[in-house]
Chain A
Amino acid sequence: MNLDDLLTQSGEWLRGVGPDSDIVISSRVRLARNLARLPFLTRASDEQRVEIHSEVRQALNRIRLVPNGGHCYVNLAESSELTSRLLLERHLISRELAGGTGGRGVLFNRTEVISLMVNEEDHLRMQAMRAGFQLDEAWDQIASLDDRLDRLLTFAFSEQFGYLTACPTNVGTGMRASVMLHLPALVFTKQIDKVFASVTKINLAVRGFYGEGTQASGDFYQISNQVTLGLAEEEILAILKRVVPKIVTYEREVRDHLLDKDRLRLEDKIWRAYGLLHSARTISSEETMDLLSAVRLGVNVGLLSDLDISRVNELFILTQPAHLQRMEKRPLDAPERDAARAEFIRRQLGFLDPPRR
C-alpha cells in the first residue's frame, strides 16, 4: 500500500461501526517502550538514534502486524512536511513525531488499527485504535504485539518502576488508554463542564480532537488515564470502562430531553448546519467541524435520515488542510483551501455530482 491509498477512505476506526459508536468514536490503547541498552532520545547521539531506528525497524520487519493485509512504513526524516501533516490529521502519528528531527518514522497497517511510532518521545510507541467502545479489544491487540516484540527486543524495565520511559509521567505500564467521545448535546446544553469537573476529580485527563494541548473542536473530547504506575493495565482500563458508560448515558439522556422538550431549538440547529454545508462556497476548518458536529448529531437522533453516517464521520478528517492539498495535488493557501473544502463537502454529502476520485 502507499500513502495515496489514505485519500480514498479514512481509517477503520472512523468508518467502522462499533459498540456505542454513535457517541464513542474510538477506543485507543498506547504503550511506550524503550530499548534497555541505549539511552532515551534526549540523551542519544545521532549515531545512537540511527541505531535505535534500525534495531526497532528490524524487529518490526520480523513480526506480522495483523493476520492479513498490507502495511506501510513512512520514514519521516525523508518525507515532506505535508506527509507528516497528513499522518497527523489521521491520528497515525503525534505532534511530537511530526515536529521532530532525525531518524524517526511510523509503521501502520492498511486498516490503520495498529500504528507504531519509532523515535517519538520514547524509542517505541505502539497503539491500537478500534471503532466504538472496544477498549479490551484494543488492549488485547496491543498486548499481543508487545509480547511478540518482547521476544525480539530487550525493553528497559525495572522490577520496582516497571517499563522505563523518558518522562516519569508514563513510567510503569507505559500505557495510555483513551476514548474519543462526541458530546454535542452536553455542549449544547452547557452540561459539559460538569462532566469535566467529575472526570478530572478521578485523575482522568480530558483533551481535544488532536490530543494534548488542542482545543476541543467538533464537540469531540478524548478521555484518558493520567496514572500509569501502581495499577495493572486491566485496573486502568476498568476505571475508563466504569466512567465512559456514565458519560454516554448522560449524553443520551440530554439528547432525549432535547428531542422531547426542546425539539424546535434542536431541529433549528441541525437544519441550519445542514443548510450551510449544503450551500457554502467557502468554509474554514473550524466552522466545518462545528457544522459537521451538528449534522452528525442530526443523523444519530434520526432527524437527518438520508445522510450516511460514515461519510459524515470521514469528513472530519478528509476536510483537514493536508488532506485537501493531497487530494488537489498542489499546495493551497487558506482561501483556496476554504473553497476546495466547501466543494468537497458538497460532493461527499451528495449535494453535487458523485466525488471524482
Chain B
Amino acid sequence: MGKLCQSCKKREAKIHFTEIKDSHKTELHLCEACAHEKNFVMNFPSFLSEIVKDPDGPGSAEMEAVPATCPDCGLAYDDFKSKGRMGCARCYDVFAPVLVPLLEKVHGKSAHTGKAPDRFRDEIQSRRELQAVDDELQKAIAEEQYEKAAQLRDRLRDLKARQGANEATEDAEEGT
C-alpha cells in the first residue's frame, strides 16, 4: 500500500496535488472519498468560479451584458460558472463579455492565431495581414517615425482596397 490519505489517515492516497504558489510548494495526498468531499477532484471548475469571483475578474458591467441562458442550447450562465463547461458553439458568443477576461487569465490571450478550417482560411489570412501592418503602423507612430508611419498607412489603405475588390469579384463570380 502506498501513502495514507492525509485527511482520513485510513485509506490509501490515490489523488495527489502539488500546488506551487509564489515559489512555495505544498503537496497534498488524499484518498478518492476525501478528495471528493473536499471538492478537489474537479479542481478546474472551482478555479473558474474563483476567477469569476475575483475582484480583478469580470466586473458587474460585464455580468449585466450577459443573458441568463444561451438561446441555442439553454445553458444557464450560473451552470457555466459552477461547472466551467460551455454548452455549444453559440455559448462562446453569448457569454463572450465574461469569457474574454477569463480566457486572458487562463491562456494569457483571448484571440486565436492558429490553424483554421478551410471555409475561414482566406478571410483569416486577409485579417491577419491587415493586423500585422496595423501593428507596425501603431509602433511607428509610438516611436515617432512619421515617414515610416505614412508609408504604412498607405499600404494599409491599398491592402484594404485590394481585399475589398477581391471580395467584390468573388461575389460577382458566385453570382454568375
Contact = CB atoms under 8 A, between A and B. Distances in A.
Interface of A: 34, 36, 38-40, 42-43, 143, 146-147, 150-151, 154-169, 171-173, 175, 193, 196-197, 200, 203, 213, 215, 227-233, 286
B37 to A, nearest CB: 16
A52 to B, nearest CB: 12
A203 B29 CA distance: 23
A167 B117 contact: no
Contacts of A42: 83, 85, 87
B127 A159 contact: yes
Nearest to A164: B89
Nearest to B29: A215
Contacts of A40: 73, 85-88
B106 A230 contact: no
Contact of A230 (B23, B96, B112, B119): B112
A200 B20 contact: yes
A39 B124 contact: no
Interface residues of B, number: 45
19 contacts: A42-B87, A43-B74, A154-B117, A156-B88, A157-B120, A169-B106, A171-B103, A197-B25, A200-B20, A203-B108, A213-B15, A215-B16, A227-B108, A227-B109, A229-B106, A229-B112, A232-B113, A232-B114, A233-B115
A168 B73 CA distance: 17
A156 to B, nearest CB: 4
Interface of B: 2, 14-16, 18, 20, 23, 25, 41, 44, 72-75, 83-89, 92-93, 96, 99, 102-103, 106-120, 123-124, 127
Contacts of B118: 147, 150-151
Given A159-B120, A160-B111, A229 B103 contact: yes
A164 B18 CA distance: 29
Contacts of B73: 39-40, 43
For the complex of A and B, the 7 pairs showing the least CB-CB separation, nearest first, are: A230-B109, A162-B112, A43-B87, A39-B88, A156-B89, A229-B107, A43-B73
Contacts of B108: 203, 227, 230
A34 B91 CA distance: 13
A213 B40 CA distance: 11
Nearest to B90: A39
A141 to B, nearest CB: 14
B115 A159 contact: no
Contacts of A159: 112, 120, 123-124, 127
Contact of B75 (A43, A154, A164): A43
A167 B84 CA distance: 7
B110 A229 contact: yes
B117 A150 contact: yes
